[in-house]
């Protein structure tokens, strides 16, 4: 026999909820199933972020509905427009990136990092406008500019951002955006954000920075003049390879325009992914600090191996961007944080890069980064264009360092390099 559940103090304080019928005519079984009692809203503040999976919200009147749709008052009507869980994630990133920014910072979340980049560029670029982007640049960003936006009258120049004279020379009267990557993919070139800020301001253009590789734990570009900062949140912010998302933060007036583009293009982040991304932010400093420390040890050790032609990592004094990184990047008891991506180039060209990657046991052969597992990718094998690999050796292998012990990662790569050294020297 089922016992009635005793009434608790919380039960005694509940008011009848919409959808619960205490009296009146009996409803049909289908109507009863559709109009179930609405769960009570707790009075206490939850420690964990609630996940609002609702696609739409109900209103007491058409007037209330119209006011929220028209944004005459705050509220939620439809999750393609706004969602509380998604807004919580975007606001959290804005708080981290804007910790010491000179003005207020707002954020907007997208369904992926590329959706965030696309939405931002679509907002400020149009037919006849021009953008100056770095070379090399993230491959997907290159494809967007060269193959998609070019069809709509947007022109782009890809120049070496380490030489501000070249950036300045590439500026046109129609330049609307100077686009940068805090740490370039895959060379790990360090953007001179303050210098690029001056170039952008002289041109009357926006400085937009993809800071995915850095995260707010390493560098916060808004503090150095950036107008907007973009992240593929899939990477370090999520941190566990189980969700996809992107985010844009910056001046509220600019972000408001980006928001409208997001709404119009339908690139909304799902509430479940927003929950996972927001949860990942709570351990972001712990994970990134550990990864940066491991990457420094990893890069320094493997730079000494006879089978290694070069190691690109800004923490090494030989890296061209080392001094800029020390000037821009955060530091802690462990020293300056130089990021957690290392690009290693063995002697032997394309074949050597493939052989090295295929012989790894601890590192996974996979794209992306920022998760707990170290990932390695032979760049020339997956590049979709020569321009995306401008200046990158055909043998280069990018390592996105995870949370493993540095000694195990070094041993894994050393063993693969030792085997590589016993093979006939491949052509370059």
Average pLDDT of the chain to the nearest whole number: 92
Tell me which residue has tokens 């990136």.
Answer: 97
Dihedral, CA atoms, 389, 390, 396, 399, nearest 10 degrees?
Answer: -60
Dist CA 13 CA 15 (whole Å): 7
Do 285-421 and 84-282 fall under one CATH topology?
no
The DSSP secondary structure of 349-409, one letter per residue, reads: HHHHHHHHHHT-SSSEE-S---SSS-EEEEHHHH-S-SGGGTT--TT-EEEE--SS-HHHH
Strands 375-378 and 364-365: parallel
Enter the tokens of residue 67. Answer: 């006011």
In whole angstroms, what separates CA 124 from the centre of its chain? 20
Strands 335-336 and 375-378: unpaired
Choose among 67, 96, 58: nearest CA to 283.
Answer: 96
pLDDT per position as a tens digit, 198-246: 999 999 999 999 999 999 999 999 999 999 999 999 999 999 999 999 9
Dist CA 406 CA 399 (whole Å): 13
Residue 62: count of CB within 10 angstroms of its CB? 8
Dist CA 149 CA 112 (whole Å): 18
Break the chain into its structural domains and give their ranges. Answer: 84-282, 285-421
Asked whether the beta carbons of 288 and 282 are under 8 A apart, the reply is no
Per-residue pLDDT of the chain (428 residues; tens, 9 = 90+): 333 333 333 333 334 444 444 556 889 999 999 999 988 889 998 999 999 999 999 999 999 999 999 999 999 999 999 999 999 999 999 999 999 888 899 999 999 999 999 999 999 999 999 999 999 899 999 999 999 999 999 999 999 998 999 999 999 999 999 999 999 988 999 999 999 999 999 999 999 999 999 999 999 999 999 999 999 999 999 999 999 999 999 999 999 999 999 999 999 999 999 999 999 999 999 999 999 999 999 999 999 999 999 999 999 999 999 999 999 999 988 899 999 999 999 999 999 999 999 999 999 999 999 999 999 999 999 887 665 566 789 999 999 999 999 999 999 999 999 998 776 654 44
What pLDDT is recorded for position 24? 65
Report the CATH architecture of 84-282. 3-Layer(aba) Sandwich (3.40)
Enter the tokens of residue 10. Answer: 């919380």
Tell me which residue has tokens 């061209």.
Answer: 320
If one looks up domain 285-421 in CATH, what number appears? 3.90.1150.10
Enter the tokens of residue 155. Answer: 């022109």
C-alpha distances in angstroms, 178 versus 131, 143, 205, 271? 6, 17, 7, 32
Strands 335-336 and 331-332: antiparallel
H helix count then E strand count, the chain: 16, 14
In 95-174, at which residue ranges do the beta strands (DSSP E only) sit?
Answer: 106-110, 130-134, 155-159
pTM of the model: 0.90
Strand partners, 308: 346
What pLDDT is recorded for position 388? 58
């Amino acid at each position: 026999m089922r016992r009635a559940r005793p009434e608790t103090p919380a039960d005694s304080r509940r008011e009848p909820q919409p959808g619960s019928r205490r009296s009146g005519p009996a409803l049909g079984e289908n109507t009863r199933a559709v109009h179930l009692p609405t769960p009570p809203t707790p009075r206490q503040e939850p420690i964990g972020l609630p996940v609002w999976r609702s696609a739409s919200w109900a209103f007491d009147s058409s007037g209330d509905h119209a006011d929220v749709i028209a944004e005459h008052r705050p509220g939620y009507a439809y999750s393609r427009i706004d969602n509380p869980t998604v807004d919580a994630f975007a606001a959290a990133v804005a708080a981290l990136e804007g910790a010491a920014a000179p003005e207020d910072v707002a954020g907007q979340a997208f369904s992926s990092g590329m959706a965030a980049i696309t939405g931002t560029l679509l907002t400020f670029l149009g037919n006849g406008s021009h953008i100056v982007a770095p070379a090399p640049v993230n491959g997907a960003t290159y494809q967007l500019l060269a193959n998609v936006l070019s069809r709509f009258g947007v022109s782009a120049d890809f120049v070496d951002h380490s030489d501000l004279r070249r950036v300045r020379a590439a500026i046109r009267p129609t330049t609307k955006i100077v686009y940068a990557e805090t740490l370039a993919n895959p060379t790990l070139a360090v953007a001179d954000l303050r210098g690029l800020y001056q170039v952008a301001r002289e041109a009357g253009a926006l400085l937009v920075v993809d800071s995915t590789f850095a995260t707010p734990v390493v560098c916060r570009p808004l503090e150095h003049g950036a107008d907007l900062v973009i992240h593929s949140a899939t990477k370090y912010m999520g941190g566990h390879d189980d969700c996809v998302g992107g985010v844009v933060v910056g001046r509220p007036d600019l972000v408001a325009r980006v928001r409208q583009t997001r709404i119009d293009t339908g690139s909304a982040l799902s509430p479940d992914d927003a929950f996972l991304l927001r949860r990942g932010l709570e351990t972001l400093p712990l994970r990134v600090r550990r990864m940066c420390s491991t990457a420094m040890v990893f890069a320094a050790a493997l730079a000494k191996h006879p089978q290694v032609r070069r190691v690109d990592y800004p923490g090494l004094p030989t890296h061209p961007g080392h001094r800029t990184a020390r000037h821009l990047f955060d530091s802690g008891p462990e020293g300056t944080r130089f990021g957690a991506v290392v690009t290693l180039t063995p002697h032997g060209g394309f074949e050597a890069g493939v052989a090295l990657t295929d012989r790894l046991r601890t590192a996974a052969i996979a794209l992306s980064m920022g998760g707990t597992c170290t990932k390695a990718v032979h760049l020339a094998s997956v590049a979709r264009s020569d321009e995306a690999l401008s200046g990158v050796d055909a043998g280069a292998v990018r390592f996105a360092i995870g949370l493993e012990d540095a000694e195990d990662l070094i041993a894994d790569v050393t063993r693969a390099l030792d085997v590589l050294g016993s093979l006939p020297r491949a052509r370059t």
